[in-house]
């Protein structure tokens, strides 16, 4: 059997056919979303794209079991509705019903963070486990919780917002309205802000040289680059940033005790330079008795395929 | 059908027969644990007590489906072992195997916080829901997570330690080794500490009069009593304490979006004086779009029955 996975983004719609053996994309394609259009047109394009992908793959419709759609925002998974997607300006869009006007298949909907977690769980870093959590350190913190092989996001599908748990009460202002959310300290955006601040306070830091004194050039790599060159300020920023990631991860482990905790996002390219000290702090902080098996921390493996594969897995 | 529930505590062992209609204890009894004894003797007493309860109930053995045992500490639910119970000094005690020497029934084991959550979920404040979280504010913070009607505590059964999530990085020292865990701010013990400190810093506070100047007499009610009498310091302590509870609860809701969040512990006796401001703060802080159904916050209803009923429900 095969499963269609659609990754509905603000820039592109990607559709792919995924095999049931766990996560191989056998055929895929994409079109621009052109997000200013009415949802009916966007969904029509999703259906047309999917029909073409199926045709191109040579797989007969009888062998296709379902269509899964992953999209940012809040889904109503039960009723196949996108309740809210700020980027596409979707409000209560009946995406299942609309898709079924074109393709006579079961349609499943979930958000992109849940799809990413599902992809890691079925075919990536958490393959073979029933219970994992995937954390993506990006502009914010995306998180997906897999329990018994299924994405969990609460009775109204609006949960799994682990980035919006406070780790520093009355701390940094978060976009969500609270102060001190984990994502204000541990998202890639937070690292950039921390790097800029430290560079401004330490004019002699190599960070300033790496960006030619232009704070707009600071990115999530800059502090790591400086630290690796032996820069004291860079090391301080990186050390503190890893502490921030670790505090949130220990919280997640103490709550979920997932078999695998997957970390995604560009910062993972730092590899063991990030992971080794992170694992050390986590090991010391986790609330757990000796002799019990412990959560493994791994970096995400699915990359760009996560969107399509995870969405396809919604139908599995 | 009927289910046996055993509440194995440090002081008493309570055993009861619970009906399958959801949480009525039709017969129960208890004996002292005498915890200094070898586990074999304690478990033998559990079995003898249970046999007597069954006999007294008049229910035939054919009508009894299973035995559930709730105990503090870390269980291995799959293998029916209590891995660790500090209070009873249990290490890897094969409680299922040992019980089955006396009673030929399936035996289930879980920890007391999970049993309490299960009891609330089946017969208490979260009755009729599939997904709830029960938080008990006591010496520490106990927490039980119910997902799809089952207690969730991770792949090694050591999770659901929501009290040990940091809400104030590098904050108050916690018994678990970390600093700033939620339970160091929001447990009943924390409120007592906060009350004492405020009373010492404010000698004119009514708190000092309420305890005749004796700080040993401060309990979890004192600050509430002072606040209700109009005392400024008492009000400040209560207001701050409710903020601490709220921050953790918002974290829990943002992660789990449970249909009902149940709060237990002596402090719930304060009723709306606690709940009204708490709900206000939570409502403002939760990360959720308009138009979605929201988590209800309720106080625990099962009281002392929670241990037996929750343990019995393990077999349901």
Please name the residue that has the structure tokens 């009673």: B103
- Same domain as A142, residue A73: no
The pLDDT of residue B87: 83
What number is the average pLDDT over the span A102-130? 96
With an 8 Å Cβ cutoff, are B255 and A289 in contact? no
The tokens for A48 are 């047309």
Strands A260-264 and A64-71: what pairing? unpaired
pLDDT in tens, A68-95: 999 988 899 999 999 988 888 899 999 9
- Same domain as B255, residue B187: yes
Residues 6+ apart with CB under 8 A from A302: A23, A116, A119, A120, A123, A124, A125, A309, A310
- Same domain as A100, residue A152: no
- Same domain as A138, residue A118: no
What number is the average pLDDT over the span B76-88? 91
Confidence of residue A180 (pLDDT cuts 50, 70, 90): very high
What number is the average pLDDT over the span A142-153? 96
The tokens for A316 are 């599995």
pLDDT reading at B73 higher than 90? no
With an 8 Å Cβ cutoff, are B177 and A84 in contact? no
Supply the DSSP string of B94-147, one letter for each residue. -HHHHHTTT--S-EEEEEHHHHHHHHHHHHSTTTT-S-EEEEEESSSEEEEEEE
- ipTM of the assembly? 0.94
Residue in A162, A168, A259 nearest the CB of B155: A259
The pLDDT of residue B249: 98
The tokens for A262 are 């997957």
With an 8 Å Cβ cutoff, are A160 and B255 in contact? yes
What number is the average pLDDT over the span B259-277? 96
Burial of B41 (0-12, 13-18, 19+ CB in 10 A): exposed
- Same domain as B232, residue B153: yes
- Same domain as B149, residue B290: yes
- Same domain as B104, residue B182: no
Chain B interface, best mutation among A164, A239, A250, A282, by max B CB count within 10 A: A164
What residues in A contact B165, CB-CB < 8 Å? 165, 251, 254-255
The pLDDT of residue B310: 96
Q: Which residues pair with B28 in a beta bridge?
A: B16
Positive or negative torsion for Cα A12, A15, A20, A23: negative
The pLDDT of residue A224: 98
Share of chain A above pLDDT 70, in %: 100
Q: Count of domains in chain B?
A: 2
The pLDDT of residue B29: 97
Count other C-beta atoms under 10 Å from residue B204's C-beta.
11
pLDDT in tens, B225-238: 999 999 999 999 99
Task: List B residues 73-132 in contact with A (Cβ-Cβ < 8 A).
Answer: 74, 83-84, 92, 129-131
What number is the average pLDDT over the span A243-269? 97
Give the residue with greater pLDDT, A72 vs B79.
Answer: B79
The pLDDT of residue B254: 97
- Same domain as B91, residue B229: no
- Same domain as B81, residue B10: yes
pLDDT in tens, B19-47: 987 779 999 999 999 999 999 999 999 99
The pLDDT of residue A200: 96
- Same domain as A80, residue A215: no
- Same domain as B218, residue B104: no
The pLDDT of residue A290: 74
CA A288 distance to own-chain centroid: 27
For the ranges A21-25, A254-258, B23-27, the maximum mean pLDDT occurs at A254-258
Lowest-confidence segment of A149-163, B20-34, B91-105 by average pLDDT = B20-34
What number is the average pLDDT over the span B9-21? 93
The pLDDT of residue B244: 98
Q: In b/e form, how buried is each residue of A141-167, taking b as 16+ CB within 10 angstroms?
A: bbbbbbbeebbbbbbbbbbbbbbbbbb
pTM for the model stands at: 0.95
- Same domain as A146, residue A119: no
What residues in B contact A74, CB-CB < 8 Å? 289, 292
What residues in A contact B294, CB-CB < 8 Å? 156
- Domain interval for residue A216: 132-300
DSSP tally for chain B: helices H, then strands E:
10, 13
Burial of A128 (0-12, 13-18, 19+ CB in 10 A): exposed
pLDDT reading at B290 higher than 80? no
Average pLDDT, chain A: 95
With an 8 Å Cβ cutoff, are A289 and B153 in contact? no
- CATH number of the domain that residue B58 is part of: 3.30.420.40
Confidence of residue A254 (pLDDT cuts 50, 70, 90): very high
The pLDDT of residue A111: 92
């Amino acid at each position: 059997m095969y499963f269609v996975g659609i990754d509905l983004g603000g820039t592109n719609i990607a559709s792919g056919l995924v095999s049931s053996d766990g996560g191989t994309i056998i055929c895929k394609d994409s079109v621009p979303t052109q997000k200013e259009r009415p949802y009916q047109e966007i969904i029509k394009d999703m259906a047309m794209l999917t029909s073409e992908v199926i045709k191109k793959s040579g797989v007969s419709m009888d062998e296709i079991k379902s269509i899964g759609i992953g999209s940012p925002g809040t889904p109503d998974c039960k009723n196949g509705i996108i309740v809210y997607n700020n980027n596409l300006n979707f409000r209560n869009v009946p995406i299942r019903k609309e898709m079924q006007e074109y393709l006579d298949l079961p349609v499943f909907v979930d958000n992109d963070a849940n799809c990413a977690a599902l992809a890691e769980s079925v075919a990536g870093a958490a393959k073979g486990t029933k219970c994992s959590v995937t954390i993506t350190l990006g502009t914010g913190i995306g998180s997906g919780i897999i329990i018994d092989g299924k994405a969990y996001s609460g009775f109204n599908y609006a949960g799994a917002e682990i980035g919006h748990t406070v780790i520093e009460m009355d701390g940094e202002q978060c976009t969500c309205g609270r102060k001190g959310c984990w994502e204000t300290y541990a998202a890639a955006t937070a690292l950039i802000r921390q790097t800029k601040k430290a560079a401004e306070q330490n004019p002699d830091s190599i960070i300033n040289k790496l960006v030619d004194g232009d704070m707009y050039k600071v990115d999530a790599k800059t502090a790591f680059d400086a630290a690796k060159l032996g820069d004291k300020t860079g090391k301080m920023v990186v050390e503190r940033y890893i502490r921030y990631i670790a505090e949130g991860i220990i919280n997640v482990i103490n709550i979920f005790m997932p078999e695998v905790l997957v970390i995604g996002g560009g910062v993972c390219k730092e590899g063991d330079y990030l992971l080794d000290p992170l694992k050390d702090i986590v090991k010391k902080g986790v609330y757990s008795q000796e002799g019990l098996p412990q959560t493994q921390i791994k970096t995400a493996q699915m990359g760009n395929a996560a969107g399509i594969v995870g969405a396809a897995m919604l139908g599995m």
